[in-house]
């Protein structure tokens, strides 16, 4: 039988153990739970075969011989764990959106669309107030090739920016070395969301060896808070195999300039289809870019583009 003195000593010791161990146990048992990362590919071209009933634009050439159909894309993104995709209809589709909208209808919540416009038709501005009421449409994509460079200086495109700003329509754009001309546009229209495609680099600027100059132009626009950049199409710009380390300095340059909330991952998979698998294009950002923290990846891989496009 325990004496009174021994009982008291035992009780005090037990109390001390509990006092010191319980908080520690509680602390170690409660671990923060990271919310599931939503992954969004900010650009994929999709198109069906050309048929007499639904022909491609005359003279247009697809980036790969086989159509990039809904049936090809869905298993591909499912396998990689990609939740959503922004469809940018290719030029061979013209301004039509019906095929992209089939994807939206068949897979609700997984596809959004950047529509195309006829830059030379200012009457299109009449459609802007209801532009985003079209099924799946999130914004507009404008591609200005080198032969059309004057559009940005001769007044051809002047009607677009105020109309899009008033209607709160985000615009993705790509030029052939004229990215710097969007600085004054961003300044005059601070409520207009402008998204630089493919780090600002087009096939034309790449062919002329002007990637560094073009990336510099894109980085310079970071001072405008309404401008963001897609870190997309990296395999196309690389002269090396995966993980495309010669492109890493350009990606980091833009990431440092814009930060994680204004950088967007994207594959543009059909523009360099044989250079990397779809899963590698995602692993490039999750496994190979050491300067991206887990939180950075959350933003770059999905949250940032959803926020910019208002895609809930």
102 assigned to some structural domain = yes
State how far the alpha carbon of 53 is from the alpha carbons of 50, 83, 90, 94, 277, in Å.
Answer: 8, 32, 18, 15, 33
Residue range 201-206: mean pLDDT, rounded: 91
19 assigned to some structural domain = no
Residue range 28-46: mean pLDDT, rounded: 83
90 pLDDT more than 80 = yes
Considering only residues 15 and 74, tell me which one the structure prediction assigns the higher pLDDT. Answer: 74
Considering only residues 1 and 86, tell me which one the structure prediction assigns the higher pLDDT. Answer: 86
pLDDT of residue 127: 97
Residue range 98-116: mean pLDDT, rounded: 98
pLDDT tens readout for residues 232-246: 999 999 999 999 999
> Residue 195: helix, strand or coil by DSSP?
strand
pLDDT tens readout for residues 127-176: 999 999 999 999 999 999 888 999 999 999 999 999 999 999 999 999 99
11 pLDDT more than 80 = no
pLDDT of residue 28: 54
23 assigned to some structural domain = no
7 assigned to some structural domain = no
By CB atoms closer than 10 A (0-12, 13-18, 19+), residue 305 is buried
Q: Lowest-pLDDT range, 36-45, 100-109, 200-209?
A: 200-209
Q: Name the domain count of the chain.
A: 1
131 assigned to some structural domain = yes
Question: Encoding tokens for residue 249?
Answer: 């300095």
Residue with tokens 């630089």: 196
State how far the alpha carbon of 61 is from the alpha carbons of 91, 174, 211, 233, in Å.
Answer: 9, 19, 24, 19
Q: Check which CATH number belongs to the domain holding 270 and give it.
A: 3.20.20.140
Say what percent of the chain tops pLDDT 90: 85
Residue range 73-88: mean pLDDT, rounded: 98
Considering only residues 81 and 18, tell me which one the structure prediction assigns the higher pLDDT. Answer: 81
170 assigned to some structural domain = yes
Question: Encoding tokens for residue 83?
Answer: 């939740």
Neighbours of 119 (CB within 10 A): 16
Range of the domain at 304: 40-309
pLDDT of residue 29: 57
144 assigned to some structural domain = yes
Residue range 37-59: mean pLDDT, rounded: 96
84 assigned to some structural domain = yes
Residue range 267-292: mean pLDDT, rounded: 97
pLDDT of residue 296: 98
Residue range 19-24: mean pLDDT, rounded: 45
């Amino acid at each position: 039988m325990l004496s009174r003195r021994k009982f008291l000593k035992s009780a005090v010791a037990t109390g001390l153990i509990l006092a010191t161990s319980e908080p520690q146990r509680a602390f170690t048992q409660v671990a923060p739970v990271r919310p599931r990362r939503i992954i969004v590919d900010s650009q994929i071209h999709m198109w069906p075969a050309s048929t007499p009933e639904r022909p491609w634009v005359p003279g247009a050439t697809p980036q790969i011989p086989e159509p990039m159909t809904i049936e090809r894309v869905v298993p591909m993104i499912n396998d990689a764990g990609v939740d959503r995709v922004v469809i940018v209809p290719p030029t061979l589709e013209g301004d039509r959106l019906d095929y992209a909208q089939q994807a939206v209808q068949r897979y609700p919540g997984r596809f959004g669309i950047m529509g195309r416009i006829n830059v030379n038709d200012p009457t299109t501005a009449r459609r802007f107030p209801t532009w985003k009421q079209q099924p799946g449409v999130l914004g507009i994509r404008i591609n200005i090739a080198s032969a059309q460079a004057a559009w940005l200086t001769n007044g051809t495109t002047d009607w677009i920016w105020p109309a899009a700003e008033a209607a709160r329509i985000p615009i993705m754009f790509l030029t052939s070395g004229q990215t710097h001309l969007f600085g004054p546009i961003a300044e005059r229209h601070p409520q207009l969301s402008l998204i630089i495609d493919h780090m600002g680099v087009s096939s034309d600027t790449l062919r002329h060896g002007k990637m560094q100059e073009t990336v510099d132009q894109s980085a310079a626009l970071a001072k405008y808070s309404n401008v963001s950049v897609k870190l997309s199409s990296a395999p196309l710009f690389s002269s090396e195999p995966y993980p495309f380390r010669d492109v890493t300095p350009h990606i980091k340059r833009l990431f440092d300039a814009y930060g994680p909330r204004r950088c967007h991952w994207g594959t543009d998979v059909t523009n360099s289809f044989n250079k990397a698998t779809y899963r590698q294009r995602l692993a490039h950002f999750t496994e190979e870019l050491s300067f991206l923290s887990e939180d950075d990846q959350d933003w770059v891989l999905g949250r940032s583009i959803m926020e910019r496009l208002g895609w809930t």
